[in-house]
Amino acid sequence: MARVYNFSAGPSMLPESVLNRAAAEMLDYKGSGQSVMEMSHRSKVYEEIIFSAQSLLREVMNIPDNYKVLFLQGGASTQFSAIPLNLLNGSGKADYVLTGQFSTKAYKEALKYGDIKIVASSKDKTFSYIPKLNKADFTPDADYFYICMNNTIYGTVFHEIPDTGKVPLVADVSSCFLSEPLDVSKFGIIYGGAQKNVAPAGLTITIVREDLLGHARDITPTMLDYKIMSDSDSMYNTPPCWSIYMCKLVLEWIKSLGGLEAMKERNVQKAKILYDFLDGSKMFNNPVNPADRSMMNVTFVASSEELNAKFVSQATAAGFVNIKGHRSVGGMRASIYNAMPVEGVEKLVEFMKEFEANN
Ligand SMILES: *Cc1c(COP(=O)(O)O)cnc(C)c1O
pLDDT score of 148 more than 90: yes
pLDDT of residue 328: 87
**Partners of residue 299 on adjacent β-strands:** 333
pLDDT score of 335 more than 90: yes
pLDDT score of 74 more than 90: yes
Q: How many CA atoms lie within 13 A of 16 on its CB side?
A: 8
pLDDT score of 1 more than 80: no
Does the bond joining 11 to the residue before it have cis omega, within 30 degrees of 0?
Answer: yes
| Residue owning the nearest CA to atom 7 of ligand 1 | 75
Q: Is the CB of 292 under 6 A from ligand 1?
A: no
The pLDDT-based confidence of 173 (bands split at 50, 70, 90) is: very high
The model carries a pTM of: 0.98
The per-residue pLDDT for range 117-131, each reduced to its tens digit, is 999 999 999 999 999
pLDDT above 70 coverage of the chain, percent: 100
**Partners of residue 96 on adjacent β-strands:** 118, 146
Domains of the chain: 17-256 (3.40.640.10), 259-358 (3.90.1150.10)
pLDDT score of 166 more than 90: yes
pLDDT score of 308 more than 80: yes
Q: Is the CB of 197 under 6 A from ligand 1?
A: no
Query: Rounded mean pLDDT of the chain?
Result: 97
Task: Find, among 69, 10, 61, 53, the residue nearest to 241 by Cα.
Answer: 53
pLDDT score of 244 more than 90: yes
Helix (H, G, I), strand (E, B) or coil at 239: coil
State in Å: Cα 78 to ligand 1 middle: 10
| Ligand 1 pocket mutation pick from 77, 80, 294 by most atoms within 8 angstroms of CB | 77
Q: Is the CB of 109 under 6 A from ligand 1?
A: no
Query: What is the spatial distance between Cα 357 and Cα 359, in angstroms, rounded to a whole number?
Result: 6
Q: Is the CB of 172 under 6 A from ligand 1?
A: yes
pLDDT of residue 332: 98
Asked if 10 contacts 195 with a C-beta cutoff of 8 angstroms, the reply is yes
**Partners of residue 207 on adjacent β-strands:** 69, 190
pLDDT of residue 2: 85
pLDDT of residue 156: 98
State in Å: Cα 176 to ligand 1 middle: 11
Strand order in the sheet with 169-172: 67-72, 204-209, 189-193, 169-172, 144-148, 93-98, 115-121
Give the mean model confidence (pLDDT) for residues 6-35.
97
